[in-house]
Amino acid sequence: MQQQLENMRKYFRDGHTRSYEFRIAQLKKLKQLILDHEEEINQALYLDLKKSKEEVWATEIGFVIAEINLAISQLQHWMQPRKVSTNLLNFPSRSYILPEPLGIVLIISPWNYPFQLLLKPLVGAIAAGNCMVLKSSEHAPATSTLMNKMITSAFENRFICFVEGDGAIVIPDMMNHFAFDHVLFTGSTAVGKEIYKMAAQHLVPVTLELGGKSPCVVEHDADLKVAARRIVFSKFSNCGQMCIAPDYVLVHDSIKDKFVEVLKQTIKDFFTDEPQSQEHYGKIINSRQFNRILNYLSQGKILHGGRFEAEHLYIEPTLIEVSDMRAAVMNEEIFGPVLPIIGFNQQQQALDLIEQHKNPLAFYVFTQSSKLANFWMQQVPAGGGCINNTTLHITNHELPFGGRGYSGIGSYQGKKSFETFSHMKSVLRSPTWFDPKIKYPPFKGKLGLFKKLIK
CATH number at residue 338: 3.40.309.10
Residue 445 forms part of a structural domain = no
Give, in degrees to the nearest 5, the angle at Cα 280 between 304 and 143: 120
How confident is the model at residue 126, as a pLDDT?
98
Q: Which of 209, 219, 316, 333 is catalytic?
A: 209
Q: Which of 131, 239, 243, 386 is catalytic?
A: 243
Residue 294 forms part of a structural domain = yes
Q: Identify whether residues 287 and 354 lie together within a single domain.
A: yes
Q: Identify whether residues 286 and 243 lie together within a single domain.
A: yes
Q: Is 6 left (phi over 0), alpha (psi -120 to 50) or beta?
A: alpha
How confident is the model at residue 452, as a pLDDT?
86
Residue 338 forms part of a structural domain = yes
How confident is the model at residue 453, as a pLDDT?
83
Asked whether the beta carbons of 204 and 180 are under 8 A apart, the reply is yes
Q: Identify whether residues 29 and 177 lie together within a single domain.
A: yes
Q: Identify whether residues 319 and 183 lie together within a single domain.
A: no
CATH number where 171 lies: 3.40.605.10
Q: Identify whether residues 253 and 391 lie together within a single domain.
A: yes
Range of the domain at 388: 215-402
Residue 433 forms part of a structural domain = no
Q: Identify whether residues 159 and 49 lie together within a single domain.
A: yes
How many domains does the chain divide into? 2
Q: Identify whether residues 104 and 139 lie together within a single domain.
A: yes
User: Which residue numbers in the chain have pLDDT < 50?
Assistant: none
Q: Look at strands 206-209 and 215-218 and give their pairing.
A: unpaired
Give, in degrees to the nearest 5, the angle at Cα 385 between 380 and 387: 95
How confident is the model at residue 21, as a pLDDT?
98
Residue 439 forms part of a structural domain = no
Q: Identify whether residues 206 and 219 lie together within a single domain.
A: no
Q: Identify whether residues 264 and 366 lie together within a single domain.
A: yes
Q: Identify whether residues 188 and 225 lie together within a single domain.
A: no
- Please indicate whether residue 209 is annotated as part of the active site: yes
- Supply the DSSP string of 36-88, one letter for each residue: HTHHHHHHHHHHHH---HHHHIIIIIHHHHHHHHHHHHHHHHHHS-EEE---G
- Please indicate whether residue 131 is annotated as part of the active site: no
Q: Output the average pLDDT for the chain.
A: 96
How confident is the model at residue 80, as a pLDDT?
97
Residue 172 forms part of a structural domain = yes
pTM: 0.95
How confident is the model at residue 438, as a pLDDT?
87
Residue 442 forms part of a structural domain = no
Q: Identify whether residues 231 and 160 lie together within a single domain.
A: no
181-208 burial: b if 16+ Cβ within 10 Å, else e: bbbbbbbbbebbeebeebbeeeebebbb
Q: Identify whether residues 80 and 105 lie together within a single domain.
A: yes
Asked whether the beta carbons of 316 and 308 are under 8 A apart, the reply is yes
Residue 67 forms part of a structural domain = yes
**Helix, strand, coil in percent for the chain, rounding step 5:** 45, 20, 35
